[in-house]
Structures are given as C-alpha cells and as structure tokens.
Structure 1
Amino acid sequence: MAGLVDIVTSLPDLARFMTDVALSDPISAVLLALGTLFFAVTIGFTGYLALGATISGILPDLSGGQPPRAR
C-alpha cells in the first residue's frame, strides 16, 4: 500500500517534470504529445474491447436466427 501512496503523492512532481521537459525544446514537446496520444489510443481501444466483451457476455443473443445445422 505504501508504494501506491508514493505514486499518488508524486503525481504533482511528475506533472511539473513533464512540463519542464515539454517547454525545454519543441521536439521534446512533440515527442511527449505523440507518446501521450499513443498511450491514450491504446488504453481507449483496450477499454472499448473490454466493454464490448462484458456487454456481449451479459446481454442475450437477440439475433433470432437459428444456428446452422451440421451436415
């Protein structure tokens, strides 16, 4: 639990450090923005897939069709 508290309490320091890096050089700002975008898209897509799987598992199949017969 102490590790989680350390991470949460260091978030303002992390934000200040990232701001210093972004303002130091234009290329650093672009790389920081692209890295943030990459992680945001990845996490968003993973959340979308997890939500779809959860909803698919909860809701019944409403297609109304019968499964194909084996020959």
Structure 2
Amino acid sequence: MVHLQSTNLLRCPLPVGKITTSHSGRRSYLTKLADKGVGVFVLAQLAGHRHISTTQRYVSVSDTQLRNAAELSG
C-alpha cells in the first residue's frame, strides 16, 4: 500500500507567515489532490486512513471544486 511520503509533502506550497505542522501539510497536500479530481477513497488510501470519515475531516472543499461541480450540474 502506498502512503504519503515527506518528499510529496515538500511539493505542496504552504501558507507563508502561518504556523505549519505536519497535520497542516497533510491537509494541504490532500486538498490539492482533491482539487485535481482525486476521489476521497483514493485519498483515504494515500493517507493511510481506515475510515473515509477521517479523510473527510482532513480535506476541505475548495472554491475550484465547487465551481467544477456547478459546471457539471448545469
């Protein structure tokens, strides 16, 4: 099974001027993948989560995702 690696996290830009933790890094990385269309089940596997509900707490819905969903429905 593949899990998130620190080298992948280094590719994800984090907010400047804010305190960052490993949790915020994982959350940013998972959210970026979700923005690119990666599904929640794949994200859960990458993060090593046993339950989808854990992944859902990690990943926030971005404006891009909302726009894409709106375009698909209309």
State the TM bucket, normalised to the shorter chain.
under 0.3
Give the TM-score normalised by the residue count of structure 1: 0.25
Q: What TM-score do you get using the length of structure 2 for normalisation?
A: 0.24
Q: Which has the larger radius of gyration?
A: 1
Higher helix share: 1
